[in-house]
Structure 1
Amino acid sequence: MNFLYWFGFYIEYRLRCLLRGLAGFSRWLGRALGALLAALLRPVVLACIRLRQASPKALLGLLVPALGALAFAWLVQTTLAQPFALRVEVNGTVVGYVANEQDFDTARTDVQARVNTARALLEAAGAAMPDWDLDPAFTLAVSSNVMTPREIANAILQASGSEITEGTAVYMDGTLRFVTTEGDHLRTLLAAVRRPYLNPADADSRVVFAHDLQLVDGIYLTGSVSPYSEIVTTLQADDGELLRVQIRRRERYEQELAYDTQTVEDDTLDFGKSETVQTGVPGREAVTYEVVYENGVEVDSRVLDVNCTAEPVPEIIRRGTRLQSGMIGKLGTGSFIWPVPAYRHISRWADLRPGSNYHRAVDIAAPYGTEIYAADAGTVVECTRHWSWGNYVKIDHGNGYQTLYAHMSAQAVHVGDTVTQGQVIGYVGNTGNSYGNHCHFEMYYNNRLFSAREVFPDMPEWNN
């Protein structure tokens, strides 16, 4: 019982302590929030008190700049929101509005073309030339009712006071050629010319005239109207050259995309050897052409769209750069590598001693077609065929040293080429005075022959 009494008392005591702590924290939090609110509101309250105590003149001095700023902002926003346009006038008469100066220039050019056509026809007929004073101008205005260049051109002619008529203009390759009042008849004629070439089942084909021919209805000067019969005669002249028909067909083809070859040098692989790490895979792309046919013969084509359907996968090749022991040599200012790194079988070394079985070079036996590499960087000074050496290459290394590689099956460089150390310059063969596939390798210093054994003294003796 004593234990239970003690335990109950302890629990009650702890609860009372917790409640007292929470009450204290609440009071502190209330005081802190009140102080923060007072600090925030103090400037506002002080400003209100000062405004209340200020004189009307002082209040007006504060309000006028604020109201001015608000009025300016409203004016700018309202002005920018206005639909500005160009008001077009002819001889002081407003004929309409266009969206921009480009549309105005287009309309003015169109009007001038109509006037020039009328002048040409009247001059050809020997008729008197009327006074067409059509010089439209524009000013900036506010209007949302803008017109297209064609509509404003019609309006300019209507306001000119000249004799005008509704008609159809014939534009060929962008140039106004004729004006007729028989637009419907002309459209029927042109449709009849195109009809034999139409194939409703071929949704990818368009039948058009070779000369871009457009019929545009509008207002034209009466003097520019040509008789319908003359227009038809002109269009059908020269075996109908002006009405030559083309079929423009969209054609789609799948074609292969070549893959790249990436070579990665690897010093863990022997020099001259290579391994394919990743096989290259060609990509695919779909190309859409517009092909133009005349009388069934293709006369032109252009690419409309290219869509890659499969990206090519590059080929990755690991190329060895490791030279085996003894295949790197230095002599004086020269630094050389063994010209046939994959092979060390030496049939014989150079022997330049007087009275010896004289031999100019080291002969390195290797299979036909094995790659031969430049022992050092330099310039190819000889690359030809010799009765004894067969196909050979000679390189000047620019430091007094020269090297010669003979009996090649083929050369891979040309005279004048600059080569780097380790670059392929030819392939092992058996040309010239030779009795088996090998690389005949000579070395010179200041035009004096010396044995490659001086450069590669550590080359293992693998002689027969």
Structure 2
Amino acid sequence: MNNDFLYWFGFYVEYRLLCLARGLAAFTRWFARVLGALLTAVLRPVALGCIQLRQALRRPKAWLGLVVPVAGALAFAWLVRTWLGQPFALRVEVNGTVVGYVASEQDFDTARADVQARVNTARALLEAAGADVPNWDLDPAFTLAVSADTMTPSEVANAILQASGSEITAGTAVYVDGALRFVTTEGDHLRTLLAAVRRPYMDPADADSRVVFAHELTLADGIYLTGSVSPYTEVVSALQANDGELLRVQIRRRERYEQELAYDTQIMEDDTLDFGKSETVQTGVPGRETVTYEVVYENGAEVDSRVLDVARTAEPVPEVIRRGTRLQSGMIGKLGTGSFIWPVPAYRHISRWANFTPGINYHRAVDIAAPYGTEIYAADAGTVVECTRHWSWGNYVKIDHGNGYQTLYAHMSAQAVHVGDVVEQGQVIGYVGNTGNSFGNHCHFEMYYNERLFSARDVFPDMPEWNR
């Protein structure tokens, strides 16, 4: 395996170096010829013109001596323009015989690969039949030339085989998935057979569908080595083998679907509107787009699909919401290093404050009455350290604000955050409810400093005492 790879690698490198050397040699010869012609055609008249100009300037009517230099300059410009406008091509030769011209080295490589594929196919068939394999020595080369009459790679491949002196014949090659597999002299019959296989799946009225073989089958007429030609019956049998795998038919249909495009929501903070309230300034409208797919079917079942095109038919219109940031008097409080906002800014109704006196009226928090589902906001920025359900608190959230302060919000109908979330001051963390040991919709709001409870009245002293 390693020896074969080294041999192949050495052969490839040697061949590419040989092609490069030949190309450079041809270019050098051509450039030398062109340069010599230019020097001869241009410099000689210029030199003579300079001599005559010098002589003419010493005589009357010296301006007549300028004719020769001007003519030389014009001749030089004409030659440059003429040479630059020449149609250059690559002259292809086989064993010293010119077989044609190609437009580029890529076309030459394609033709040479085509020839090699035809030779390999003939060699494989002869070896399988136990016949002698001729020594087909086909080594095409190219040189730079001037020609406007170029050929296609397939035409050059045919010409190379014709010039090789090998036994050749006109035939039709069968390429399967880009690889040459068979050569037959019954190309017309094979085309008729393939058309008959596809015909039952075709619908002339369906312009969006095309019927193809799952394995790409391409037929190419040309000149081929006689040893590569297979009997027509053998080609058909090979195509029909394995339950007709190579003749498996696909229907490829263009299908179009309309789909919505989500619109963006733009929030405009407004300090003239109460905190927690919002107004829709512009209603969002979804956009529309048409997506074109190529869907592949086999035996009526979809086996593949890919997007061919996406056409935007309507741009989405963003929804614009004006959100209030104005807090009512008494809803902003400071205590030590803490700065807090009232957790239910839309409501000031307090059913009771915290009371730490032992006895019947002991209460850990301020209860803020509000309708079911009212948004509850984080009193300050921090990290959610608890978010669960408790037999007494019901659904609750606890936030550590990182400066010794913590806050707890209980009896929620639902939480809007998770443990570990980092929240901003004023971010929605849940909704007012009546879960746990509760007797009406409200927000149970506890405040801590260094793990010790204190009353929210210390932070919000201007809030109402009782039911106002």
Question: Is TM more than 0.5 here?
Answer: yes
SS of 2:388's partner is: strand
SS of 1:344's partner is: coil
> How far did residue 352 of structure 1 move?
2.4
AA in 1 matched with 2:191:
R
> How far did residue 384 of structure 1 move?
0.9
Q: Which of 192, 204, 207 is the aligned partner of 2:208? A: 204
The CA deviation string for residues 105-159 of structure 1, in whole angstroms up to 9 with x for no partner, is 2212211111111111111111112111122222222221111111111112112
Aligned partner of 1:78 in structure 2 is 82
Give the Cα–Cα distance (whole angstroms) in 1 for the partners of residues 384 and 71 of structure 2: 87
Give the Cα–Cα distance (whole angstroms) in 1 for the partners of residues 72 and 366 of structure 2: 100
Aligned partner of 2:220 in structure 1 is 216
Alignment length (residue pairs): 415
Q: Which of 258, 262, 271 is the aligned partner of 1:267? A: 271
**Quick check: 1:109 aligned with 2:109?**
no
AA in 2 matched with 1:55:
R
5 Å-filtered alignment, 1:340-359, equals 340-353=344-357, 357-359=361-363
Aligned partner of 1:55 in structure 2 is 58
AA in 2 matched with 1:440:
H
Aligned partner of 1:456 in structure 2 is 460
Aligned partner of 1:47 in structure 2 is none
AA in 1 matched with 2:255:
E
SS of 2:313's partner is: strand
SS of 1:439's partner is: strand
5 Å-filtered alignment, 1:61-100, equals 70-100=74-104
Give the Cα–Cα distance (whole angstroms) in 2 for the partners of residues 75 and 439 of structure 1: 95
Conserved in 2, the CA contact under 8 Å of 1:281 and 1:313?
A: yes
**Quick check: 1:410 aligned with 2:394?**
no
5 Å-filtered alignment, 1:104-253, equals 104-253=108-257
SS of 1:250's partner is: strand
> Percent identity between the aligned chains?
87
Give the Cα–Cα distance (whole angstroms) in 2 for the partners of residues 348 and 72 of structure 1: 106
The CA deviation string for residues 188-242 of structure 1, in whole angstroms up to 9 with x for no partner, is 1111111211222222221111111111111111111111111111111122111
> How far did residue 418 of structure 1 move?
1.0
**Quick check: 1:298 aligned with 2:323?**
no
> How far did residue 461 of structure 1 move?
3.9
**Quick check: 1:365 aligned with 2:361?**
no
Give the Cα–Cα distance (whole angstroms) in 1 for the partners of residues 319 and 147 of structure 2: 64
The CA deviation string for residues 235-268 of structure 1, in whole angstroms up to 9 with x for no partner, is 1112211111111222222222222222222222
Conserved in 1, the CA contact under 8 Å of 2:56 and 2:65?
A: no
Conserved in 1, the CA contact under 8 Å of 2:172 and 2:222?
A: yes
> How far did residue 331 of structure 1 move?
1.6
Conserved in 2, the CA contact under 8 Å of 1:344 and 1:462?
A: no
AA in 1 matched with 2:411:
H
Give the Cα–Cα distance (whole angstroms) in 1 for the partners of residues 167 and 423 of structure 2: 82
SS of 1:403's partner is: strand
SS of 2:373's partner is: coil
> How far did residue 72 of structure 1 move?
4.8
**Quick check: 1:318 aligned with 2:328?**
no
> How far did residue 68 of structure 1 move?
6.4
Conserved in 2, the CA contact under 8 Å of 1:351 and 1:360?
A: yes
Q: Which of 266, 273, 288 is the aligned partner of 1:284? A: 288
Conserved in 1, the CA contact under 8 Å of 2:404 and 2:449?
A: yes
Give the alignment's Cα RMSD to 1 decimal. Answer: 2.5
SS of 1:357's partner is: coil
AA in 1 matched with 2:374:
T
In structure 2, do the counterparts of structure 1 residues 336 and 72 end up closer, same or farther at CA, with 3 Å as the change threshold?
A: farther
SS of 1:404's partner is: strand
Give the Cα–Cα distance (whole angstroms) in 2 for the partners of residues 51 and 319 of structure 1: 92
- Structure whose CA Rg is larger: 1
Once structures 1 and 2 are overlaid, which stretch shifts more, 347-356 or 138-147? Answer: 347-356
> How far did residue 305 of structure 1 move?
2.0
> How far did residue 65 of structure 1 move?
7.8
AA in 2 matched with 1:335:
S
Aligned partner of 1:328 in structure 2 is 332
> How far did residue 354 of structure 1 move?
5.3
**Quick check: 1:437 aligned with 2:441?**
yes
Give the Cα–Cα distance (whole angstroms) in 2 for the partners of residues 305 and 60 of structure 1: 71
Aligned partner of 1:24 in structure 2 is none
Residue ranges of structure 2 left out of the alignment (5+ in a row): 1-52
AA in 1 matched with 2:419:
V
Residue ranges of structure 1 left out of the alignment (5+ in a row): 1-49
The CA deviation string for residues 381-431 of structure 1, in whole angstroms up to 9 with x for no partner, is 111111111111111111111111111111111111111111111111111
Conserved in 1, the CA contact under 8 Å of 2:56 and 2:63?
A: no
> How far did residue 302 of structure 1 move?
1.8
> How far did residue 66 of structure 1 move?
6.6
Give the Cα–Cα distance (whole angstroms) in 2 for the partners of residues 291 and 219 of structure 1: 38
> TM-score, with normalisation over the residues of structure 2?
0.83
In structure 2, do the counterparts of structure 1 residues 355 and 203 end up closer, same or farther at CA, with 3 Å as the change threshold?
A: closer
SS of 1:267's partner is: strand
SS of 2:395's partner is: strand
> How far did residue 80 of structure 1 move?
2.6
Give the Cα–Cα distance (whole angstroms) in 2 for the partners of residues 101 and 431 of structure 1: 81
Aligned partner of 2:38 in structure 1 is none
Aligned partner of 1:26 in structure 2 is none
Conserved in 1, the CA contact under 8 Å of 2:377 and 2:428?
A: yes
Once structures 1 and 2 are overlaid, which stretch shifts more, 430-439 or 129-138? Answer: 129-138
Once structures 1 and 2 are overlaid, which stretch shifts more, 291-300 or 169-178? Answer: 291-300
Aligned partner of 2:49 in structure 1 is none
Give the Cα–Cα distance (whole angstroms) in 2 for the partners of residues 334 and 406 of structure 1: 21
In structure 2, do the counterparts of structure 1 residues 428 and 88 end up closer, same or farther at CA, with 3 Å as the change threshold?
A: same
